[in-house]
Amino acid sequence: MQALGRHLLCEYHGCDRELLNQPEQIGSELVAAVKLAGATPLQVIVHAFSPHGVTGVVVIAESHFAIHTWPEHGFAAVDLFTCGDSVDPYKAFDHLRSALHAETHSVVEIRRGLFPTDVKHKP
C-alpha cells in the first residue's frame, strides 16, 4: 500500500532537565532538526508554560514537527510528520536525541494516508 506520509512518534527519557525548560533553545534545536532532515521550515511557534515545560511546533512545507517537554520528568515527546520522499525524519530524530542528551529513546513509525495501490484516489 502507498502512503502519503510518515509520522514518527518519538520519546526521549533522561533528558537534560534544564534544557527542557528553555524555550529559545528548544525552538533552535527543533529548527536545526528540520533543516538536518531536509525539510523546509515555514513557521515556528514556541510556548513556555509556568512553572515549567515547553511546547514547540515548526510548520514545514512537508507537514510539521512538534515537541512537548516535561522538565520535571526529564521527558520530551516529539512528533515528526513528513509527506513526500525528500525528507528523512530519522535524521531529525537522531539530532534531537543528541541535543536533548537523552539517556533512552524510542520511536514508532506510522504510515499516514494509506491507499491500496490498485485504487486511484481523487484529488
Residues assigned a catalytic role? 63, 68, 83
- Torsion over CA of 19, 22, 25 and 27, rounded to 10 degrees? 120
DSSP letter string, 25-58: HHHHHHHHHHHHHT--EEEEEEEE-SSS-EEEEE
